């Protein structure tokens, strides 16, 4: 007997509804990797008190492209992510672990049931 695959539709932006409001009924909105990655890169850059130009220069990309990454508009290649991690004083593994933790926290905040928010506990 063949097993049926679960199908998860892609979120698409439309002029009539913002990206964050498009979801299936009773299904929590899962954050996008590129958005959480951008937020983390932005936070790391600000923690170092650097401009877009300074960080982008060390990573070998343009300040405009780094800005788009930070805003979650572009999904950089693994090579660019590794270069940004190095430019921000961390490793690809360290950056990935930070983004994974951010995703877990954001997903936990998005989980709801019919009666309201569900409290989740995460191991540190």
Contacts of 70 (CB under 8 A, 6+ apart): 38, 39, 41, 42, 45, 52
Share of the chain above pLDDT 90, in %: 59
Ranking 28-32, 42-46, 90-94 by mean pLDDT, the lowest is 28-32
pLDDT digits 0-9 by tens, 73-99: 999 999 999 999 999 999 999 999 999
Q: What is the CATH number of domain 30-109?
A: 1.10.260.40
Pairwise CA distance, residues 95 & 92, whole Å: 5
Residue 116, pLDDT above cutoff 50: no
The full set of domain ranges for the chain reads: 30-109
Are residues 38 and 71 in contact, defined by beta-carbon separation less than 8 angstroms? yes
Ranking 50-54, 107-111, 116-120 by mean pLDDT, the lowest is 116-120
């Amino acid at each position: 007997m063949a097993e049926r695959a679960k199908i998860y539709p892609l979120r698409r932006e439309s002029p009539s509804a913002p990206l964050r409001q498009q979801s299936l009924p009773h299904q929590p909105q899962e954050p996008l990797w590129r958005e959480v990655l951008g937020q983390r890169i932005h936070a790391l850059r600000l923690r170092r008190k650097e401009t877009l130009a300074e960080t982008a220069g060390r990573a070998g990309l343009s300040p405009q492209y780094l800005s788009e990454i930070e805003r979650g508009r572009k999904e950089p290649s693994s090579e660019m992510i590794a270069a940004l991690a190095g430019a921000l004083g961390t490793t690809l593994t360290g950056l990935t672990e930070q983004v994974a933790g951010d995703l877990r926290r954001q997903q936990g905040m998005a989980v709801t049931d019919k009666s309201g928010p569900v409290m989740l506990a995460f191991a540190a």
